[in-house]
Amino acid sequence: MSEANKQFEYFSLRVKPLLETLYDKKTAAHFLERLYYLLKEHFADRVDENLNKWTENNVQLITYGDSILKEGEKPLVTLDRFLDEHIRDTLTGVHILPFFPYSSDDGFAVIDYLKVDPQLGDWEDIQRIAGKFNLMVDLVINHVSSQHAWFEQFKQGIKPGCDYFIEVDPATDLSQVVRPRSTPLLAKVNTVKGEKHVWATFSEDQIDVNFANPEVLLEYVKIILFYIKKGAKYIRLDAVGFLWKKIGTSCIHLPETHTVIRLLREIVQMLDPMVALISETNVPNRENLSYFGNRNEAHMIYNFSLPPLILNALLQGKSDHLKTWMMSMPPAPIGCAYLNFTASHDGIGLRPTEGLLYEDEYQTLLEKMQEFGGKISMRNKSDGTEVPYEVNISFFDAMQGTVKGKDKWQIQRFLCSQTIMLALEGIPAFYIHSLLATPNDLEGVEKNGRNRSINRYKWNYEELEKRLKNPKSPQSIVLKELSRRIKIRRKQPAFHPNATQYTLHPLNKALFVFWRQSIYRDQSIFCINNLSDRTQKLRLSDLNLFIIDPWCDLLSGHPIENLHDKFTLKPYQCAWITNKF
């Protein structure tokens, strides 16, 4: 058998069963060949799964292309300069949020997947950053802008776009559909064939595409191929849980959706084994975990329960819910990892807290976030009632106080929250406004009329530089100290994303303590975090430190002289006690 035939046989073996799950056999056979001839010239030399996509060294940044602006300069050039001056030696990856031409939702209503918004820059600017950092690119896979060429074709009755969307009779019972927003599910649109109603999960400007049409699948495979050729190492599948629609169901997490992710993973694996798929599903924890599949779907999943649980723990000054959640979290499968974060361009999701917080604590969290300047966004349930969906607030300002009110510990409390995230199993990701201690942008909310604008501030480059040069500013203090802790973290084998993690149980609820052990078991790190505004003590003998090893706190640099002493932690202090330093 020729090499070409062997290649096709392998491709068919991996892809055909998945296509046949989605479509009838005749259609699957036809599209198998089309996919193969689209991709065959781009296959990697080796298609073995790469289980070493990441190490303890990987730390990610999340940013918009225009989070920092300099007059007379393209924002992507300004971003590149900021990264070189402040981030180059600290972080290894950059997620540039949608940088394509768009019509709404700050980039998530994409007009053209293959172009860079000229107001930001061009592909040369993107590739310059990709040459220095592992680039994460958004694939907004569930929907397109109402101004996308495909939807214009739909309105004109022109192929291929006329077959790419989901028409629904507005009298259809869609009450079972899970909604992430309070907007109508169907958008009314005028076409050459009259008025039609199309599926629009997120807004009337974001029209869902129809993956039941295999031509749509083919379009998105072409886009993935294009991104990989442009240097993307991570591809984020935005809103992927809503991808497949079946009337009479919830239309979220359907088996067909999981099959599409499996198919995309197989294809990405054959194109470049170093590229990873990340699922973005802001849902309750058990549902979120399903996107690992049988280690054959997403390579990484966002740890959506982490932000609200860390927030609640630091508000309450106690670790019980955080510990309960951590004990319930399975280790990520081999070849997979959690993506840990506390803040992003969106709000702090509340659905991931379902079943994890007491009702009184949940209500207190909502009240305190509003007291600290935050907003609460709502969604519609199937019974027509509205419930909170997310808290919109700068994570730095979410740390202004506790259940007792505002206090003087904001910076220390915030650093504690980020240090916990840094130490957990998985790959840490920092939103740029967390690194920069950006406060609530209330003017942005008023100007744009959107709650999420509160955490999407655009810094003036000169003003930011002035703040960073002032050693007493929150921006300077936080960026300097987080950079120091990140650099320490990147050197520790026990912080490998797949290294062992165990929850420990000191009697003092104000302490959150866990143990990490390197894959080769030569390093242990005991992560101790004081969640309270009071000094706390922990008996080191409770940690079961090996008496034959010398021990040191990596964060303070202080050696541990006596393993029988009590270890003292100031308010919100963190310690990483290790036997290898």
Q: Tell me the per-residue pLDDT of 237-265, one tens digit each, with 9 for 90 and over.
A: 999 999 999 999 999 999 999 999 999 99
Q: Tell me the per-residue pLDDT of 352-411, one tens digit each, with 9 for 90 and over.
A: 888 889 999 999 999 999 999 999 999 887 777 889 999 999 999 999 999 999 999 999
Please choose, from the candidates 176, 170, 180, the residue with its C-alpha nearest in 3D space to the C-alpha of residue 382. 176
Q: Tell me the per-residue pLDDT of 287-311, one tens digit each, with 9 for 90 and over.
A: 999 999 999 999 999 999 999 999 9
3-class DSSP state of 572: coil
Lowest mean pLDDT among 217-226, 259-268, 388-397, 539-548: 539-548
Angle ∠(229,234,235) on CA atoms, nearest 5: 80
Percent of the chain with pLDDT over 90: 89
Which positions are catalytic?
238
**Cβ–Cβ < 8 Å for 437, 477:** yes
Paired tokens of 321: 């819910």
Q: Tell me the per-residue pLDDT of 515-535, one tens digit each, with 9 for 90 and over.
A: 999 999 999 999 999 999 999
Q: Tell me the per-residue pLDDT of 2-48, one tens digit each, with 9 for 90 and over.
A: 777 889 999 999 999 999 999 999 999 999 999 999 999 999 988 88
Phi and psi torsions of 10, nearest 5°: -65, -45
Q: Say yes or no to pLDDT of 432 above 90.
A: yes
Please choose, from the candidates 448, 377, 366, 450, the residue with its C-alpha nearest in 3D space to the C-alpha of residue 181. 377
Is the Cα dihedral 395, 401, 402, 405 positive or negative? negative
pLDDT score of 376: 96
pLDDT score of 563: 80
Question: How many whole angstroms from its chain centre is CA 512?
Answer: 24
Phi and psi torsions of 459, nearest 5°: -75, 140
Expressed in angstroms, the distance from the first to the final Cα of the chain is 55
**Cβ–Cβ < 8 Å for 103, 202:** no
Q: How confident is the model at residue 180 (pLDDT cuts 50, 70, 90)?
A: confident
Please choose, from the candidates 376, 300, 269, 307, the residue with its C-alpha nearest in 3D space to the C-alpha of residue 95. 300
pLDDT score of 548: 74
Percent of the chain with pLDDT over 70: 100
User: Mean of the per-residue pLDDT values for the chain?
Assistant: 96
pLDDT score of 2: 77
* Pairing outcome for strands 337-340 and 427-431: parallel
**Cβ–Cβ < 8 Å for 296, 262:** yes
